[in-house]
Structure formats: structure tokens, C-alpha cells
Amino acid sequence: MATRIDPNLMHEIKDFGAVGIEKCFNCGNCTAICPLTSDEYPFPRNMIRMVQIGHTERLKQHIDPWLCYYCGECSETCPKGAEPGETMMALRRWLTAQYDWTGLSRKTYTSKIWMVGMLLMAVVIVAVLAALLHGPMVTSQVKLNTFAPIEIIHTADLILAAVLGFFLLTNLGRMYFFVFGQANNIPLKIYLSEAWNLVFHTVTQQRFSSCDDSRKNWINHLILVAGYATMFLLIVVFLSWFQTDNIYPLYHPQRWLGYLAAGALIYGGVEAVIGRVKKRQQIHKFSQPSDWLFPILLVLLSVSGLSINILRYQGIPMATYYAYIIHLAIMMMLYVTVGPMGKWAHLIYRPFAIYFQAVKAKQSQEELTAVPAAAD
């Protein structure tokens, strides 16, 4: 079967952030030094070669870019300065765009004008909804649930979560078909037996710790993800308990869980921004707009949330209400720009890639075991 070659693929990957890929002459140094590569997945060299040749369809089928955690060693030791780590990062963005059937991911990653437009759209949506749906603005005391009725906010949260979940699951389905094809003979029992990989690596991101000199980055990433997951549960699942006009003591779980989640997001976000400003690590040497936007929005989201609490406890009604609207606007900006079609999606695609890797390995193992048995 003939393979179609795309001569523009390298330029396309550059649009997603690849740097110096044309300098690579496939010496294999990057693959040799990578602690996560294997005979079955010899990245980054194999991925760079496919880009140079123009194998678009074959690239879509590969999970190799998701198996890379970008420790930066490959780029630091590249004799030609081809920045293989940045190519792997760009390929993750590119694959996210391939999985996304809406086309929004491609526009968000490759167009600054589009990203700014999405941010403005998020602000306008929140402003219009707030103007139309807000309750009475009590000025004698802070009545946040009167101004922002919990039933409306909770319903909006669930609708937004359902919409984003729909896009994520359908994009994940496209990822599955790219990797396995529409017809595969892998038994259901293999998917079930290897499902622990999905849960384990989603929670621990353990492979990140295998990268040399990346243990701090792994811990920082864990803190950030833990803070985000906790905050998501508080505002989507437990909103009626979290958003209340009751003033709880500091030791109450409603308060310290919120403070811990906000602190984790601020720490992780500030750490990422400082790293990109100083550029001391290879992974921070090059930055795309989404690399800045994600941590900045997380920090702003956390700071605005803490501001609401401070203003509420100080009994300043109008400032509390306006701070709440600003908080919702930042949240909407986060979801529409770096949600399931953007940078946030790697939290899902990477564990599933590891899961798919385990499923393929198990299937190959069973096929090898079955051959001698059939011969007997």
C-alpha cells in the first residue's frame, strides 16, 4: 500500500513550536541518552525522521510523543542543536490538534489572534450571564449566595463540565482509533487487565520521576495536578458545601481544603512562570503562548478565589460580588483556551498513551505465547 508524503509537514510542526528540526541528521544521540526510550519506542529520533520525511498518517498512529516527559537531556546533548525535546513538545500539541475534531485546538495553538479572541469571548460570556442571571445585590452584609444563587452556579458548572467532558471523550475516541485502527482483535480481557496502568499513571505520573534530574519537576507537577483536581471537585461536585454564606472556623475542612488547593495552584503556577522567565532549564528555553497562559490563569484563578474569601470575611459586599464575577471570568478563560482542546488535555492523553502501550505489549506477549502452543 502506497504511503502519502506531506512535504509541508515539517513547516506545520514548526507552527506548533518545533525549533531547529531541520538541523537533525539522525545520529541517534537523543534516543541513546533518553531514560524512557525502548526498542519498541525509539523516540525522539524516530519521530523527527517521520517529520522530516513527511509521514503525517504514521505520526497520527504513534503514542511516542506522549511517552516523553521532556527532561531536556536530549536537547542539551544534541551535537547539532536540533532541539529534539522541543520537537516532541510540538508533536504533543500537533497530536492534540489531530485528535480534536472541532479544529479549535489547532487555532488556539497556532494563532495568537485566535487565542486573544477566545479569551475575550470568555469574558463577554461571563459578563452577559452575570448581568442577566445575578440575584439581588445585598449591601448591608455579604450575601454571596443571594447574588449568585447556588442552584444557577451549580447547574452552570455541571453543564460546562458535561460539555468539556463530551469534547474530551470524543477526542479521546479519535486518539484510540488513530492508535489501534477501527478494527483490532485485542480481547476485552487485555484492556481490563491493563487498566491499572491508566489509574496508576494518572494519579502518580511515576514515569516523570524516572527522568534524570527531573524529580523536582515531577513533584512540582504532582502538587499542581493535586491542587487542580481538589479545586475541580470543590467547585463542581461539592459546590453547595464549598460556596456558602456560613463563616467556618479556620480548621474546618471547607476552608483548609480550599486554601491548600489554592496554595498548590499558586505554587505550581508561579514556579512555572519563574522557570520560563529565567530559562535556566532546557525545558523552559522556548515557550509558546499556551505555556505562559496556563500557569498565569491558574495563579489568577487562585488569587481571585482567595480575594473573594478575604472580602467576604471582612464584610465588604460589593467588592465581594465583583471579585466573584472576575473569578468566574478567569475560570471561563482557563476552560476555553487550555481545556480539553489545549494544554490541559495532556493530563488525559499521556496516561491513556501509557495504557495503550501496556495493552499493545500484553497483546504481543500473548501472541508470542500462542505460537509455540499452536505448533505443538
Asked whether the beta carbons of 81 and 96 are under 8 A apart, the reply is: no
The whole-number average pLDDT for the span 313-325 is 95
The whole-number average pLDDT for the span 163-186 is 90
Is residue 372 very low, low, confident or very high in pLDDT (cuts 50, 70, 90)? low
pLDDT at residue 336 in the model:
86
Residue 3 has pLDDT above 80, yes or no: no
CA–CA separation, 2 and 39 (whole Å): 26
CA–CA separation, 248 and 61 (whole Å): 52
Residues 6+ apart with CB under 8 A from 161: 236
Residues 6+ apart with CB under 8 A from 34: 43, 44, 68, 73, 74
pLDDT at residue 175 in the model:
96
CA–CA separation, 294 and 324 (whole Å): 20
**Radius of gyration, CA atoms only, the chain:** 23
Residue 34: strand, helix, or coil: coil
Asked whether the beta carbons of 73 and 88 are under 8 A apart, the reply is: no
C-alpha cell at 43: 523516540
For residue range 187-219, list pLDDT tens digits in order.
999 999 999 999 999 999 888 888 866 778 889
pLDDT at residue 304 in the model:
96
Q: Which of 41, 1, 46 is nearest to 364 (CA)?
A: 41
Is residue 183 very low, low, confident or very high in pLDDT (cuts 50, 70, 90)? low
Residue 323 has pLDDT above 60, yes or no: yes
For residue range 352-365, list pLDDT tens digits in order.
999 999 999 999 89
Residue 340 has pLDDT above 80, yes or no: no
Residue 293: strand, helix, or coil: helix
Is residue 244 very low, low, confident or very high in pLDDT (cuts 50, 70, 90)? confident
pLDDT at residue 122 in the model:
94
CA–CA separation, 316 and 280 (whole Å): 43
Residue length, the chain? 376
pLDDT at residue 195 in the model:
96
Residue 305 has pLDDT above 60, yes or no: yes
For residue range 22-58, list pLDDT tens digits in order.
999 999 999 999 999 999 999 999 999 999 999 999 9
Residue 160 has pLDDT above 60, yes or no: yes
pLDDT at residue 210 in the model:
81
Which residue ranges form the domains of the chain, and what is each CATH number?
9-99 (1.10.1060.10), 104-361 (no CATH)
The whole-number average pLDDT for the span 338-342 is 77
- 3-state secondary structure string, 321-375? HHHHHHHHHHHHHHHHHHCCCCHHHHHHHHHHHHHHHHHHHHHHHHHHHHHHHHH
